[in-house]
Amino acid sequence: MKVILSWLSVTLMTVLISACSAVGSTDGGAGEIEIRSGKIEQISLTQMQTNHDSGVGAVLGGLGGLALGSLIGGGTGRDVAMVAGALAGAAGGNYAEKKKYDQPVEAQQIIVRVSSGVLVSVTQPINPSLAKGSKVYIQGSGNDARVVPQGS
């Protein structure tokens, strides 16, 4: 029984800690942003997947499954039901969170020719102030890159 409770504690702590992990950290130091300038060559409408994997669904589902599992049987059977309930609840809660919040959103794929002549493609939520031929800045890199108009 102590072994099962130990594993249950480790599992719940892992789920709780992973729910609090930093999302989208960058390689640069705090406040550093790489900025490149260029001109928009092409803009096309597309969709992009959102990322709302906060872990809240898994935590709440795990706690709910643990509570329901504690109502079943007694002794070792109850401990097994609690662990199974917590795991099934966490999986179900995570699935429900993804199903509700991870829907594609309208976006635009922007191709920018930077000052060095290289083409850079960035997919981001729609910014109506961007148009073909506009001078822009590309802030950041990788998945964190954003295209913003120069000036105001």
Residue-wise pLDDT for 82-124, tens only, equals 888 889 988 888 888 877 777 777 889 999 999 888 899 998 8
Q: What is the pLDDT of residue 7?
A: 72
Cα–Cα separations (whole angstroms), residue 55 to 35, 37, 49? 32, 37, 17
pLDDT at 148 over 70: yes
Q: Where in the chain is the domain with CATH 2.40.50.590?
A: 33-49+104-152
According to CATH, what is the number of the domain 33-49+104-152? 2.40.50.590
| Alpha-carbon gap, residue 119 to 16, rounded angstroms | 42
Residue 105 structure tokens: 């959103």
Is the pTM for the entire model greater than 0.75? no
Q: What is the pLDDT of residue 18?
A: 62
| Alpha-carbon gap, residue 58 to 63, rounded angstroms | 9
Q: What is the pLDDT of residue 61?
A: 86
Cα–Cα separations (whole angstroms), residue 33 to 39, 87, 110, 124, 145? 19, 40, 19, 17, 9
pLDDT at 28 over 80: no
Segment (H or E) for 61: helix 56-69
